[in-house]
Amino acid sequence: MDTPTPQAAGTPCTRGRRHGFRFGKALTVIAIAAAAGFAGGYAGKSFAQGFGQRGAMSAALDPAQMDERVERMVRHFAVAVDASPEQKDRLAAIARDVARDMAPLREKMRAARKEGIALMAAPAVDRAALERLRAEQVGLADASSRRVTQALADAAEVLTPEQRQKLAERAQRFGERRGWHRG
């Protein structure tokens, strides 16, 4: 009768390794998607644009207005995780930096959208131009994701493990309300 061989201490079994790989891969994909979504949607519009008619984003914010908006966002976040005044100041600095870095991407995204529409409306399909546009957008998304991920890691280092746990619980509840965490 075959008996299973014991694993070396601290060595996960093969099934556990595969599960860990899948979980790590899924976590990476989620982090990239969240970062890209934040970068493209929230940072680009919320930080670089102001509210126009009917709450739509229209006029660009000047740097002082952008900093004001970031401060308001950080104050709200700081209350949610019980951040100290020092943590709040450090988080505000991180958020201001990422907002300034991400603001110029909005115009690049707008220009790419217009170019994509023009390419699709052309009498002949220019596959090379479509591929070039796609590659540029992938590069832009990668740069956005990289910058936002850096800011998220910087912010995580400012928070305590307990504060990060609170944040994770809030994110879980938020995702459940949005239907993102279906079983």
Q: Are 35 and 144 in contact (CB under 8 A)?
A: yes
Q: Which H or E run contains 114?
A: helix 105-121
pLDDT of residue 106: 77
User: How many angstroms separate the CA atoms of 164 and 173, rounded?
Assistant: 14
4 within some domain: no
Range of the domain at 42: 17-178
Task: Measure the CA–CA gap between 142 and 51, rounded to whole angstroms.
Answer: 28
Q: Establish if 94 belongs to a structural domain.
A: yes
Give the number of domains in the chain.
1
Residue 2 lies in a domain: no
pLDDT of residue 34: 46
Region 4-20: mean pLDDT is: 47
- Cα–Cα distance between 143 and 26 in angstroms, integer? 20
Which of 110-114, 122-126, 171-175 has the least mean pLDDT? 171-175
**What's residue 94's pLDDT?**
94
Is position 41 within any domain? yes
pLDDT in tens, 51-105: 333 333 334 667 788 888 888 888 888 888 899 999 999 999 999 999 889 888 8
